[in-house]
């Protein structure tokens, strides 16, 4: 069994994916697998427990795997597995690694503050959320992953994983590969309405992959654009979204031509929204058709996860044997 891990990444099963999730996190994986890099993609169902009830997180696992496959993740080219399928190994390694980082250092991880609910303080965070960076390090190190795709908001977590690997290796010998960042283009896709990024937590400004087509059309119709000749951050975001979801070069060229007219002061935002809407609806309709067939075959999803479990488990057991030898021999 070939268990070499060139690239590893994970997604939490907490709610339906948006088109922004697809472009920012899933599409790069599809590109990696087409290059023959065989990514490892795990469903981070333990991480989801930081702010989601276990029953709800479990419910989303099959949905998320169906989403992956419908979007173009090929289980023959990408290893898909559940984090909880190697929960014992992950938990033990998390405990071992937690010995090598201080409370003060964990409090300085910027993403902890980002994940806190409004008004909460790091000191009052639940302990699982507090240990999020350590468990993420365990996810990466237990698979001996060489590269981890990171956006600007995840670089602190990867650096924490690298530092924990360095500290362990220095004390007990070279057990862990030091993972390096595989930089992916950071796409800032904004909410269609209101402020901030497109997010599951602000559904009025988000386009969900499973969204009713009329609802998606209405959201685009009400979205903010820009006055003639002006280029706003919101409009730039819409352009990225439309070009990213476009199925061919013809659609991309049509968008580019409309935007050129807009820059020259022509009133073409109505025309842009029509093209934007058509591209989004075609993408959603195609995705939803594929997803329906996959969801109707849960045995297939189970087989995909079982296949991934065997590979991830073999890697985890191999790594933990090295860890235990270093610690106890």
Calpha distance 54→45 (Å, rounded): 8
Q: What pLDDT was estimated at residue 182?
A: 86
Same domain, yes or no: 38 and 176: yes
Is the pLDDT assigned to residue 112 strictly greater than 70?
Answer: no
Q: Which domain holds residue 118?
A: 8-188+298-328
- Alpha carbons 260 and 158: distance in angstroms, whole number: 40
Does one domain contain both 305 and 284? no
For residues 288 and 302, membership in a common domain is answered with no
Whether residue 2 lies inside any domain: the answer is no
pLDDT at 248: 94
- Integer Cα distance of 33 and 315 in angstroms: 20
Residue 196 lies in a domain: no
Overall average pLDDT of the 305-310 stretch = 97
103 pLDDT above the threshold of 80: yes
- 127 in a structural domain: yes
Here the CATH number for the domain that contains residue 18 is 3.40.50.620
Q: Which range, of 61-75, 153-167, 220-234, averages the lowest pLDDT? A: 153-167
Cα gap 260→256, rounded to integer Å? 6
Whether the per-residue pLDDT at 22 is higher than 80: the answer is yes
Q: Is residue 221 part of a domain?
A: yes
Nearest to 8 by CA among 185, 176, 168, 141: 141
Count how many domains the chain has.
Answer: 2
Cα separation of 158 and 135, whole Å?
A: 11
Indicate whether 178 and 246 sit together in one domain.
Answer: no
Tokens of 65: 């795997």
Say yes or no: 149 and 245 in one domain.
no
- Taking alpha carbons only, the member of 262, 150, 245, 140 closest to residue 189 is 245
If asked whether residues 147 and 222 sit together in one domain, one would say: no
Residues 266 and 120 placed together within one structural domain of the fold: no
Q: Mean per-residue pLDDT for 98-115?
A: 81
Say what the pLDDT of residue 152 is.
63
Q: Which pLDDT belongs to residue 205? A: 93
Are 71 and 149 found together in one domain? Answer: yes
* Residue 143 maps to a domain: yes
Predicted pLDDT of residue 95: 96
Do residues 110 and 234 both lie within one domain?
Answer: no
Please tell me the predicted confidence (pLDDT) of residue 1: 41
More confident residue, 110 or 249: 249
Which residues are within 8 A (CB) of 266 and not within 5 positions of it... i.e. 6 or more apart?
228
Tell me the pLDDT band of 4, cut-offs 50, 70 and 90: confident
Domain membership of residue 220 (yes or no) is yes
What residues does 40 pair with on adjacent strands?
Answer: 8, 79
Q: What percent of the chain has pLDDT over 70?
A: 94
With 0.85 as the threshold, say if the pTM is over it: yes
Are 256 and 123 members of one domain? Answer: no
Binning pLDDT at 50, 70 and 90, where does residue 104 land?
confident
| pLDDT of 2 higher than 50 | no
By DSSP bridging, strand 147-150 and strand 180-183 are parallel
Q: Is residue 193 in a domain?
A: no
| Cβ–Cβ < 8 Å for 68, 40 | no
136 three-state secondary structure? helix
The pLDDT score that the predictor gives to residue 153 is: 63
Q: Is residue 195 part of a domain?
A: no
More confident residue, 167 or 49: 167
Indicate whether 318 and 269 sit together in one domain: no
Residue 259 and residue 321 share a domain: no
């Amino acid at each position: 069994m070939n268990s070499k891990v060139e690239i590893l990444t994970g997604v939490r099963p907490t709610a339906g994916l948006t088109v922004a999730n697809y472009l920012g996190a899933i599409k790069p994986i599809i590109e990696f697998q087409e290059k023959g890099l065989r990514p490892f993609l795990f469903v981070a169902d333990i991480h989801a427990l930081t702010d989601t009830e276990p029953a709800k997180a479990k419910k989303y696992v099959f949905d998320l795997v169906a989403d992956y496959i419908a979007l173009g993740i090929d289980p023959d080219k990408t290893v898909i597995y559940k984090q909880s399928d190697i929960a014992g190994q992950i938990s033990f390694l998390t405990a071992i690694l937690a010995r090598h980082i201080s409370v003060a250092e964990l409090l300085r991880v910027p993403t902890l503050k980002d994940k806190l609910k409004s008004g909460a303080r790091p000191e009052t965070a639940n302990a699982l959320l507090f240990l999020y960076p350590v468990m993420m390090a365990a996810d990466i190190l237990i698979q001996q992953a060489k590269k981890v795709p990171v956006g600007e908001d995840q670089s602190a977590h990867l650096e924490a994983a690298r530092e924990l690997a360095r500290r362990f290796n220095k004390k007990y010998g070279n057990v862990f590969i030091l993972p390096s960042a595989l930089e992916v283009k950071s796409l800032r896709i904004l909410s269609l309405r209101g402020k901030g990024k497109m997010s599951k937590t602000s559904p009025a400004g988000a386009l969900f992959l499973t969204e009713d087509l009329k609802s998606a059309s209405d959201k685009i119709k009400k979205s903010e654009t820009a006055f003639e000749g002006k280029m706003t951050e919101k409009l730039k975001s819409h352009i990225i979204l439309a070009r990213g979801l476009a199925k061919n070069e013809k659609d991309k060229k049509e968008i580019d031509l409309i935007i050129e007219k807009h820059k020259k002061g022509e009133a073409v935002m109505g025309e842009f929204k029509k093209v934007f809407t058509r591209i989004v609806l075609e993408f959603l309709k195609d995705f939803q058709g594929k997803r329906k067939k996959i969801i109707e075959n849960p045995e297939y999803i189970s087989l995909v996860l079982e296949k991934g479990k065997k590979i991830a488990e073999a890697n985890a057991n191999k790594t933990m044997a090295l860890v235990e030898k270093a610690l106890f021999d």
